[in-house]
């Protein structure tokens, strides 16, 4: 029997050796991947021993900091958000009970010093050996609290979002979403997070509407259609159209939108440029039919639709813009038969876009046709004050020629000077803008928009404002908010 | 150096390590635990010195490594249990005293000739089944985590399956010793009693949902039949039957199907039906919750571990982060605390124990001793593989204790009986021949 016993012994040892191999796998190869899992409560709780890096706005205002607390003989670092609701949807929270959200989630590696920079690894190992508290890296954002405060105040009591960015660098100055919540309540008073009286259902205060909210763009989308039509040389700003007040699609009349001044208007003989200036649906309906849905979709992709924007917020808090079918992003394999080109051209069809994406559209025109990656992180600084990462502006792509950009800019300037966007006009500064009033299916209830940039000849700020459940129009509800935000950035006094 | 003096020396080393372990937990958790924890090490050393003296008297020629390894494994277990739940460590300590008493009793009672047990083999076989049936009896059994494995007398709980395992090994060793030649020739009728007793045990285990033990018994059975007959064919047929049976059970029993699904796909990106509460949930928040949390624990240990006492196993409010940490998942807690280096050393301890056990079976000069030695040792190794392999997602997870380490009285007692058995066989094999 000894031969069999020897073999059984070998088999037993192989079984046990396999355990060492499997343990090695989990503790070395797989451990980094597991540490990043959202439901890894062990990692999360363990990270409360780390003195998390702070988060600051561009002017140094503290947005997230730590509170030391002794628990069972250990020092734990809990988060506190001095600005409360102001940056809640962007900065997010880091809690023991409800995990993390916002930049606290997506930039967790930097904040806990578990990023792969050589210097960070060295410092962290040294701290570990010395037995001192590990300190995370600090984040400095590009946001300006002054602008953000203004944006949140302008949106207060409404449901909507505003994005303010630098069109030339893609750096975000303000990313506002209302209703919002107090991140200091998440750990122990999550049940108090409600938004009573918000004029939308569900109020969803945790939702970052600027990046994660999907809305029908309405006429703001005409900027995308115009780009496709002009940049492909199928039309010029001087091309003329006959506007009977409606356009005929599939044998049916599609009327122009009602105007703030009265019922549906018919403009008669107009140019392409006047079509954008007065936001005439029939003109764009005919442009859409002429250039086809395929071409518009191509330009949408260039503008960044159908992709998650590069903004540093977590992947689960941002959505790509585009056509949606049954709640899912839909890219037609055969646009000619699957998409209604006329309705697409003036921003209805099944389009759903984020305010961030429409801010990118305005920025691209402002930046003479080059789309920039939107960014909110400016730099990462280690605990010794040394900058370890600086986020440089990055081009997404050139969407249109300079000429096309200039042509659209001048049409948008006309729209503010003498068109639908008059409420955004700033004395002494030429503002380029486009209104949007999207039908929601409930008659009389609209999603209103305004996208704009200024000064038109040398743009320094681009803005997108969206409001849900409005009875008014983009030009009367969203445009005044956009004006206030542009003025705030352009005012020589406010550098904040 | 004599064998027993070597054992004594090893035990002193174990005592020192135990003291270090408790000191580590004490330093890390000063604000929570008291200095009394440091007395645990002294208490353990004293207890094992008594065990050593009994061994000196009853089995002077036995292997000198097994008792110290068992002592170290229980000490590591109690240290970790102490870190997880100090109250449980005290109860475990009491069980270890009982276990050492049973160990001493077994050694003394069987010191002259344990081989007379062979003549009671059928009694052992029937006892095994009887013990397994006990928890299923109404009024006596208790259901824990969907498996009915426990019996209770008042506040005392006991899992008779652990003892049944040893009885079954004694039965198999006796029966196979007697019938090995005819079995090797493949005479079917001789398989009768074997299959009746073993099949009865399997049936009870499947009925009570104790899949881990069922797998263990199956492994022990195949291994011992192989050792006795030397026929690989039997093992192959057995394995084939096992795989076919497993597949059948997998398709028919939803409980088993669920276990396998959890094993194959512990994480889901979208919500799936959660059988626990009847709602939709990510699988990592539902069925595979335990497994996933245990993997996080192992992974967070990394190379060097957090150190005993510094493991993250609960929230700052004291809510546990990993379920059943004391018993099924004690390996996950240890892997976090000791890191890859320490936990590999722990597995090496198990390997040395297995090597010494198999060596005892090799050195024994009669069939019953060889079969019993190999059976007990393989049972020990395979049980370790089933629980740790399950925790490591190497095989589907089934709840079973980690020998000597897990919290659980019956498990500790049974493993000390197993240890006594190996020492008795070893003593007989090493003893100088008397004319």
Cβ of residue B372 closer than 8 Å to a chain A Cβ? no
User: What SS3 class is residue A75?
Assistant: strand
Give the start-to-end residue ranges of the domains of chain A: 145-377+398-490
Which residue from A228, A267, A260 is spatially nearest to A437, judged by alpha carbons? Answer: A260
Q: What is the pLDDT of residue A496?
A: 46
Which residue from A97, A396, A358 is spatially nearest to B318, judged by alpha carbons? Answer: A97
CA distance A212 to A201: 16
Cβ of residue A264 closer than 8 Å to a chain B Cβ? no
Shortest Cα–Cα distance, A438 to chain B (Å): 32
Pairing of strands A138-141, A55-56: parallel
DSSP-assigned beta bridge partners for residue A452: A433, A463
Which residue from B428, B390, B136, B300 is spatially nearest to A18, judged by alpha carbons? Answer: B390
Q: Which CATH number fits domain A145-377+398-490: 3.40.50.920, 3.30.1360.120, 3.40.710.10, 3.40.50.300?
A: 3.40.710.10
Q: List CB contacts (< 8 A) between A50 and chain B.
A: none
- Token pair of A472 as six digits: 């008014």
CA distance A127 to A212: 39
Cβ of residue A15 closer than 8 Å to a chain B Cβ? yes
User: What SS3 class is residue B126?
Assistant: helix
The beta-carbon neighbor of A4 closest among B226, B336, B377 is B226
The interface predicted TM-score of the complex, written ipTM, equals 0.94
CA distance A114 to A333: 43
Percent of chain B with pLDDT over 70: 94
Cβ of residue A126 closer than 8 Å to a chain B Cβ? no
Mean pLDDT check: name the lowest of A1-10, A190-199, A323-332.
A190-199
Chain A to chain B, count of Cβ pairs less than 8 Å apart? 157
Residue B274 has pLDDT above 50, yes or no: yes
Cβ of residue A17 closer than 8 Å to a chain B Cβ? yes
**Kind and range of the H or E element at A488?**
helix A474-490
- Token pair of A22 as six digits: 């499997």
CB proximity under 8 Å: B 270-299 to A: 282, 284-285, 292-293, 295-299
CA distance A159 to A138: 32
Which residue from A176, A179, A152 is spatially nearest to A163, judged by alpha carbons? Answer: A176
The beta-carbon neighbor of B392 closest among A12, A23, A48 is A23
Mean pLDDT check: name the lowest of B94-108, B154-168, B364-378.
B154-168
Q: What is the pLDDT of residue A480?
A: 95
User: CA torsion B390→B396→B401→B403, rounded to 10°?
Assistant: -50
Mean of all residue pLDDT scores within chain A:
90
Cβ of residue A1 closer than 8 Å to a chain B Cβ? yes
Shortest Cα–Cα distance, A30 to chain B (Å): 7
CA distance B225 to B297: 39
Beta carbons within 10 angstroms of residue B84's beta carbon: 21
Burial class (CB in 10 A: 0-12, 13-18, 19+), B233: exposed
pLDDT, one tens digit per residue, over B391-432 is: 999 999 888 899 999 998 889 999 999 999 999 999 999 988
Q: What is the pLDDT of residue A222?
A: 94
DSSP-assigned beta bridge partners for residue A329: A324
Give the start-to-end residue ranges of the domains of chain B: 3-261+320-430
Inter-CA distances, B116 with A89, B111, B120, B188, B257, Å? 77, 11, 8, 27, 44
CA distance A101 to A41: 14
Whether the CB-CB separation of A432 and A341 falls below 8 Å is answered with: no
Whether the CB-CB separation of A102 and A90 falls below 8 Å is answered with: yes
pLDDT, one tens digit per residue, over A367-418 is: 999 999 999 999 999 888 899 999 999 999 999 999 999 999 999 999 999 8
Mean pLDDT check: name the lowest of A32-46, A286-300, A383-397.
A32-46
- Token pair of A25 as six digits: 């796998």
CB proximity under 8 Å: B 39-98 to A: none
CA distance B96 to B44: 9
Per-residue pLDDT band for B327 (boundaries 50, 70, 90) equals confident
Which residue from B40, B25, B74, B90 is spatially nearest to B313, judged by alpha carbons? Answer: B25
Which residue from A237, A243, A244, A343 is spatially nearest to A289, judged by alpha carbons? Answer: A343
Q: What are phi and psi of B347, to 5 degrees?
A: -65, -35
Cβ of residue A75 closer than 8 Å to a chain B Cβ? no
């Amino acid at each position: 029997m000894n031969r069999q016993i020897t073999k059984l012994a070998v088999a037993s040892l192989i079984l046990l050796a396999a355990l060492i191999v499997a343990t090695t796998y989990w503790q070395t190869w797989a451990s980094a991947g597991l540490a990043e899992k959202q439901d890894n409560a062990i990692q999360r709780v363990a990270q409360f021993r780390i003195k998390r890096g702070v988060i600051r706005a561009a002017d140094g205002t503290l947005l997230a900091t730590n509170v030391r607390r002794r628990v069972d003989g250990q020092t734990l670092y809990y988060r506190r958000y001095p600005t409360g609701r102001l940056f809640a949807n962007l900065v997010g929270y880091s809690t023991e009970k409800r995990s993390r959200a916002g930049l606290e989630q997506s930039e967790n590696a930097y904040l806990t010093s578990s990023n792969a920079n050589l210097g960070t690894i060295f410092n962290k190992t040294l701290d570990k050996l010395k037995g001192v508290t590990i300190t995370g890296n600090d984040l400095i954002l590009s946001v300006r609290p002054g602008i953000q405060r203004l944006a949140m105040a302008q949106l207060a009591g409404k449901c909507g979002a505003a994005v303010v960015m630098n069109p030339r660098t893609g750096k975000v100055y303000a990313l506002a979403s209302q209703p919002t919540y107090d991140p200091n309540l998440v750990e122990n008073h999550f049940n108090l997070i409600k938004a009573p009286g918000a004029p939308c259902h569900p109020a969803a205060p945790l939702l970052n509407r600027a990046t994660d909210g999907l809305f029908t763009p309405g006429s703001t989308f005409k900027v995308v259609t115009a780009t496709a039509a002009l940049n492909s040389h199928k039309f010029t700003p001087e091309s003329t159209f006959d506007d009977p007040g409606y356009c005929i699609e599939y044998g049916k009349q599609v009327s122009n939108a009602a105007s703030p001044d009265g019922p549906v208007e018919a403009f008669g003989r107009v140019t392409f440029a006047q079509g954008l200036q007065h936001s005439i649906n029939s003109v764009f309906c005919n442009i859409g039919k002429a250039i086809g849905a395929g071409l518009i979709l191509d330009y949408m992709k260039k503008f960044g639709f159908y992709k998650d924007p590069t903004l540093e917020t977590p992947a689960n808090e941002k959505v790509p813009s585009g056509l949606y079918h049954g709640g899912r992003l839909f890219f037609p394999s055969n646009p000619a038969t699957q998409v209604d080109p006329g309705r697409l051209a003036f921003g209805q069809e099944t389009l759903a876009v984020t305010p961030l994406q429409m801010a990118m559209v305005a920025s691209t025109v402002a930046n003479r046709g080059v789309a920039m990656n939107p960014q909110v992180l400016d730099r990462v600084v280690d605990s010794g004050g040394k900058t370890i990462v600086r986020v440089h502006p990055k081009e997404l792509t050139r969407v249109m020629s300079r000429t096309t950009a200039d042509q659209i800019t001048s049409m948008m300037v006309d729209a503010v000077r003498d068109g639908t966007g008059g409420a955004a006009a700033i004395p002494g500064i030429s503002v380029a803008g486009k209104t949007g009033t999207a039908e929601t299916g409930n008659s009389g209830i609209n999603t209103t928009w305004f996208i704009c940039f200024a000064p038109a000849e040398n743009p320094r700020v681009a803005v997108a404002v969206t409001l849900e459940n409005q009875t008014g129009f983009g030009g009367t509800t969203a445009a005044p908010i956009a004006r206030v935000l542009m003025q705030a950035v352009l005012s020589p006094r406010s550098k904040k | 150096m004599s064998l027993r003096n070597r054992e004594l020396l090893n035990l002193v080393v174990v005592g020192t390590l135990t003291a270090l372990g408790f000191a580590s937990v004490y330093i890390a958790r000063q604000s929570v635990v008291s200095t009394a924890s440091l007395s645990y090490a002294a208490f353990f050393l004293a207890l094992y010195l008594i065990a050593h003296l009994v061994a000196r008297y009853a089995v002077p020629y036995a292997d000198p490594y097994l008792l110290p390894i068992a002592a170290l494994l229980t000490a590591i277990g109690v240290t970790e249990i102490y870190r997880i739940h100090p109250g449980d460590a005290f109860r475990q300590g009491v069980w270890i005293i009982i276990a050492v008493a049973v160990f001493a009793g077994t050694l003394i009672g069987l010191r002259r000739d344990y081989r007379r047990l062979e003549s009671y083999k059928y009694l052992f076989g029937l006892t095994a089944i009887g013990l397994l049936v006990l928890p299923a009896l109404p009024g006596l059994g208790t259901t824990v985590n969907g498996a009915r494995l426990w019996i209770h007398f008042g506040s005392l709980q006991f899992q008779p399956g652990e003892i049944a395992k040893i009885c079954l090994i004694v039965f198999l060793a006796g029966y196979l010793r007697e019938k090995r030649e005819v079995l090797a020739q493949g005479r079917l009728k001789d398989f009768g009693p074997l299959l009746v007793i073993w099949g009865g045990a399997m049936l009870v285990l499947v009925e009570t949902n104790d899949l881990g033990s069922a797998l263990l018994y199956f492994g022990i059975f195949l291994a011992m039949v192989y050792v006795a007959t030397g026929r690989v064919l039997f093992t192959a047929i057995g394995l084939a039957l096992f795989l076919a049976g497993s597949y059948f059970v997998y398709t028919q029993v939803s409980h088993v199907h669920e276990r396998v699904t959890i094993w194959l796909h512990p994480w889901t990106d979208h919500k799936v039906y959660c059988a626990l509460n009847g709602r939709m949930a990510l699988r990592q928040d539902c069925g595979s919750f335990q497994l996933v949390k245990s993997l996080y624990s192992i992974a967070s240990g990394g190379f060097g571990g957090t150190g005993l006492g510094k493991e993250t196993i609960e929230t700052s409010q004291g809510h546990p982060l990993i379920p059943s940490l004391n018993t099924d998942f004690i390996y996950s807690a240890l892997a976090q605390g000791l890191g890859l280096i320490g936990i590999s050393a722990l597995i090496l301890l198990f390997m040395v124990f297995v090597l010494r056990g198999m060596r005892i079976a090799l050195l024994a000069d009669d069939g019953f001793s060889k079969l019993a030695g190999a059976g007990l040792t393989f049972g020990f190794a395979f049980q370790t593989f089933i629980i740790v392999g399950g925790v490591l997602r190497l095989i589907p997870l089934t709840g079973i204790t980690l020998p000597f380490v897990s919290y659980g009285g019956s498990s500790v007692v049974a493993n000390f009986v197993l240890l006594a058995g190996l020492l008795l066989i070893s003593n007989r094999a090493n003893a100088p021949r008397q004319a």
